[in-house]
Amino acid sequence: MEKDSHFIPDEIRSYIVGQVESGFTYDQTIENVEQKYSRIVTKGAISKIMDNFHTAGSVSDLLREGAPHIYSTKQEQMIIDTVKRIGSLQVLTLHETRNLISMKQLREPFRTSSTEMG
């Protein structure tokens, strides 16, 4: 696992939330993460993960304003069309819709159009 990266994968984020919610102190959690994942996390990182978990109900790192798009415009339209087809009245963010649509469904139209071209 890359130690120099500031990004903390969801697996480690989930572990951290589990540790803190189970009553471990931040210091104990830091030590446990280092032992289990050979990864150093700070109290500040744990605090941000816990804030995110309590406010957003998620351990995932949420998208930020100005962040590059995850999907192309065509893929985003497919997501919107799929959500409309499902009939959900709830407005979903792209982050939430990623769980509704498999990557295979997203790639399928692009395979079809690329085989038609070649």
Pick the more confident residue, 35 or 4: 35
The reply to whether 24 and 51 lie within a common domain is yes
Taking the C-alpha atoms of residue 99 and residue 60, their distance in angstroms, rounded to an integer, is: 12
Q: Give 87's pLDDT tier (boundaries 50, 70, 90).
A: low
Residue 78 included in any domain: yes
Give the pLDDT score at 110: 52
Residue 4 included in any domain: no
Residue 61 included in any domain: no
40: domain range?
10-56
Residue 1 included in any domain: no
Using DSSP, how many helices (H) and how many strands (E) does the chain show?
6, 0
Count of domains forming the chain: 2
Q: Give 97's pLDDT tier (boundaries 50, 70, 90).
A: low
The reply to whether 47 and 80 lie within a common domain is no
Percentage above 90 pLDDT, the chain:
35
Condensed to tens digits (0 to 9), the pLDDT of residues 40-70 reads 999 999 999 999 888 888 888 766 666 666 7
The reply to whether 14 and 52 lie within a common domain is yes
Q: What is the 8-class DSSP label of residue 107? A: H
